[in-house]
Amino acid sequence: MLQSIPHLLDKLAAAHGGTLKSLVDVLATKYHLLVEYHAIRNRPQLSFVQRLMAATGCNLTVKWLKGERRGAATRIPSEVSPEFAEFLGLLLADGHLNPRTVMFYNTDESLLARFERLGRQLFGLEPRRYIANTVPATRFSSTILVKLLVHLGIPESGHRKSRTCSIPTVILKSPEEVIARFLGAYFSCDGSTSSDGKELEIATASQSMAIGLSYLLLRLGILHKLSSKTIGGRDYFRIFIRGKEEIGRFYAACKPKGNSPHTGKWDQIATYLHDGKGDYTGVDVVPAAPQTLKMAYRAMNSPRSKLETRGVYVSNYLYGGERMSATVFRQFAARCDSPQIRAFARSLESIFCDPITEIETIPGPHDVYDVTVPGAHNFVGGMGPLILHNTIAQHQIAKWSDADVVVYVGCGERGNEMTEVLQEFPHLTDPRSGRPLMERTILIANTSNMPVAAREASIYTGITLAEYYRDMGYHVALMADSTSRWAEALREISGRLEEMPAEEGYPAYLAARLAEFYERAGRVITLNGTPGSVSVIGAVSPPGGDFSEPVTQHTSRFIRCFWALDKALASARHFPAINWLESYSEYTDEVSDWWREQGYEDWYALREQALEILQREDRLQQVVKLVGPDALPDDQRLILETARLLREGFLQQNALDEVDSYASIEKQIRMLRVILHFHERAERIIAKGCPVIVIHDLPIVNILVRMKNTVPNEQVERIDEIWQRLDEQMDQVEKEYRM
């Protein structure tokens, strides 16, 4: 970085008179310091570098910082790596910050040594051992490191860390590998196991920390119990993980890896998981009433022996008051002919039955956020409530579309969902004009408790308004949520008119009505010669995600672009949960012409290559489920690795992230190019005998996954720097395996 400063000073001076003296006021510094910096005889302050970057528009990477006077030089990590997350986990569990030092206390020598190794590796600092009130401890002396950790959210000196600590935001936003390393380190210090290993517990005095840990566990799909207890007038919070299935998930994801210490509590967990004994857990149980089970059991002709061979001892559940686990209930439902019980058993793959134990009313106006999964609506509360909603996708389309007017039709939606839309849309800002988005938005609200005729008319009202603005020369985007409930209104009216029902009770003219609606979309030339258009986005909500039901089938006949939402992707926390294999677009040729006009002639080839890799990955996953990824040859394992980069680094987006919420055309094409360039370079190197694990462990892989979050739309040229780093690392590997 120091070598770049003279060049930037010369460049800036040329624009302000040609001499360094002309930069005294521009950079708010003294002339003799400018001379020193230009000759690289003195190291500038960080504030000067920031002013220089702002004045020149150039971005300098600061790798080392040193406090004034005698402070130690500290390396600044460029990313939140798994090792950095492990360091933060250890520090939050058993560490402390002073104004100039970072301290860690633990009686386990392996954890002390690991904290020291991480500090050396990450920050280039040397630790110092000491005894703090009879407890072994180690510390790093660096004001720079303290300021960095405080900036990330670690409580500083003077604040009671035990009660004020929380999960750093950078960890909450990180990939699952980073989250797992953080949880594993935190558990190694502050976690405990029961004597038999059947129960894991993490206790904390901080409510924010407890809720944050709960969120991280849910990111990894680990069910747990969060409880609180008051002792001596103070609240304490405990997280419990019980049952082999959930403990197994935690162990598989968070167990120490590489050089991380494998403490005794992890050995207890491993012993419990491999003891060969059965397991019953009270966590994932099904609240099915005994009367319902008895009726279903009698309808099966009481096949007790057949059920017991499957491990379902029905007497315990019918007469003993014992609740079935989700696994046992699915085995029971497999022998049952009841469509309701079978449907509920299938839904258990996506839902968790948790009883409501308390309802607390909080007075006053508050912003309330809903939670939903595509295909089902779940409104979840509690001490650590979950927040998410599929209207986020609608918000994003409305916010970032190029339409002049946005028409949102809520047809048959629940009242609280429409309330959220009516309250949330006014807060959205149009990124093009900076004005409130409501200035170009029309909201039509028809909730599920309104008369059926009103619900049926809402779609027509929306499309008529859209055509009105289209005829005025505007480009209009219409979002209909949802056409399934509109079709249900048609079915209800048809039933009242005693018309002959067709498939699943829908009227025989359902297809014609859907066609009449979608065919009103299109582009026109108005009477005054200006173009106008209506683009229709209809949300279909098939029951249980069944794409074979009539509304979905008829809709697919009239549309040319289809986004298939996938429960599996939603469960894996991949959003938007659009299945790239089932979704399609018939506008590819038209769009290809547009891309060529913009100067991106390779767009179609890049799209086809990326889609081919994702399709090959889908076929390979069938083999992986049988034999595991390690049994595949390296070239096929590379397909899995590149597909992961495409999924996590390109297709997955975070609507709540300022950088990742929207990607410009330029950023999209550059991201796709560099990922596919990675694949091509890796293919050539693997063909020379390089193991794919070497490619997987390159630092550039994590950079590719995170560039969607780290590269703003205004700085897409930084992707060229990533390309260059990719080539440098690939060249180094290729030299080692050159024939």
pLDDT for position 374: 41
More confidently predicted of 351 and 481: 481
The pLDDT, as a whole number, for residue 467 is 96
pLDDT band at residue 72, thresholds of 50, 70 and 90?
confident
pLDDT at 602 (0 to 100): 92
Is the pLDDT at 123 greater than 70, yes or no?
yes
Percent of the chain with pLDDT over 70: 89
Higher pLDDT, 26 or 595: 595
Position 388 scores a pLDDT of 37
Give the pLDDT band of residue 368 (cuts 50, 70, 90): low
Residue 55: CB partners within 8 Å, gap ≥ 6? Answer: 12, 26, 27
pLDDT digits (tens, 9 = 90+) for 216-263: 998 888 888 888 888 888 888 999 998 888 898 899 999 988 777 777
Query: Could you check whether the bond before residue 482 is cis, i.e. omega within 30 degrees of 0?
Result: yes
Q: What is the mean pLDDT of the chain?
A: 84
The predicted structure's pLDDT at residue 739: 47
* 201-205, 269-273, 309-313: the lowest-pLDDT one: 309-313
In the 3-class helix/strand/coil scheme, how is 336-362 assigned residue by residue? CCCHHHHHHHHHCCCCCCCCCCCCCCC
How far apart are alpha carbons 536 and 472 in whole angstroms?
A: 18
CA-wise closest residue to 122 among 153, 78, 158, 160: 78
Nearest to 191, CA basis, from 252, 247, 109, 275: 247
Read off the pLDDT of each residue in 9-25 and give the average, rounded to a whole number. 79
The pLDDT value recorded for residue 640 is 94
Is the pLDDT higher at 384 or at 372?
384
State pLDDT tens for residues 136-169: 999 999 988 999 999 999 998 767 788 889 999 9
The pLDDT tens digits of the residues spanning 417-461 come to 777 777 777 777 787 778 888 888 898 988 888 888 888 899 999
Average confidence (pLDDT) over 79-97: 94
pLDDT at 373: 40
Strands 531-539 and 522-525 turn out to be: antiparallel
| Per-residue pLDDT, 26 | 77
What pTM was estimated for this model as a whole? 0.53
How far is the C-alpha of 694 from the C-alpha of 703, rounded, in Å? Answer: 16
**What CA–CA distance (Å, rounded) separates 291 from 287?**
12
pLDDT digits (tens, 9 = 90+) for 710-730: 899 999 999 999 999 999 999
Confidence at residue 126, expressed as pLDDT on a 0 to 100 scale: 93
- Alpha-carbon distance of 555 to 510, in angstroms, equals 10
Average pLDDT in the 35-59 region?
78
Mean pLDDT value across residues 125-134: 91
Average pLDDT over residues 90-98: 93
Please, which residues have CB within 8 angstroms of residue 630's CB and are 6 or more apart in sequence? none
Chain segment 615-627, per-residue pLDDT in tens = 999 999 888 888 8
- Average pLDDT, integer, range 363-380: 50
**Which carries the bigger pLDDT value, residue 462 or residue 57?**
462
Instruction: Please give the share of the chain, as a percent, with pLDDT higher than 90.
Output: 37
- Higher-pLDDT residue of 349 and 528 is 528
- For the cut 90, the answer to whether the pLDDT of residue 286 exceeds it is no
374, 577 in Cβ contact below 8 A?
A: yes
Q: Residue 295's pLDDT is what?
A: 78
Predicted local distance difference test score (pLDDT) of residue 566: 80
pLDDT score for 556 = 87
Q: Is the pLDDT of residue 380 over 50?
A: no
| Helix, strand, coil share of the chain (percent; to 5) | 50, 15, 35
The conformational region for residue 540 under phi > 0 = left, psi -120 to 50 = alpha, else beta, is: beta
Residue 385 — very low, low, confident or very high, per pLDDT cuts 50/70/90?
very low
Evaluate if residue 693 carries a pLDDT over 60. Answer: yes
Q: How far is CA 678 from CA 98, 419, 681, 725, 726, in A?
A: 44, 46, 5, 11, 7
pLDDT tens for 535-572 read 999 888 887 777 788 998 998 888 889 888 787 787 77
pLDDT at 317 over 80: no
Residue 394: per-residue pLDDT: 62
DSSP state at residue 727: H
CA distance 406 to 399: 9
Least confident range of 274-288, 472-486, 547-561: 274-288
* Residue 113 confidence (pLDDT): 93
Q: Which of 132-141, 192-201, 276-285, 710-719 has the lowest mean pLDDT?
A: 276-285
Sign (positive/negative) of CA torsion 205, 208, 209, 213? positive
pLDDT of residue 528: 85
Strands 531-539 and 475-481: parallel
The pLDDT score that the predictor gives to residue 310 is 61
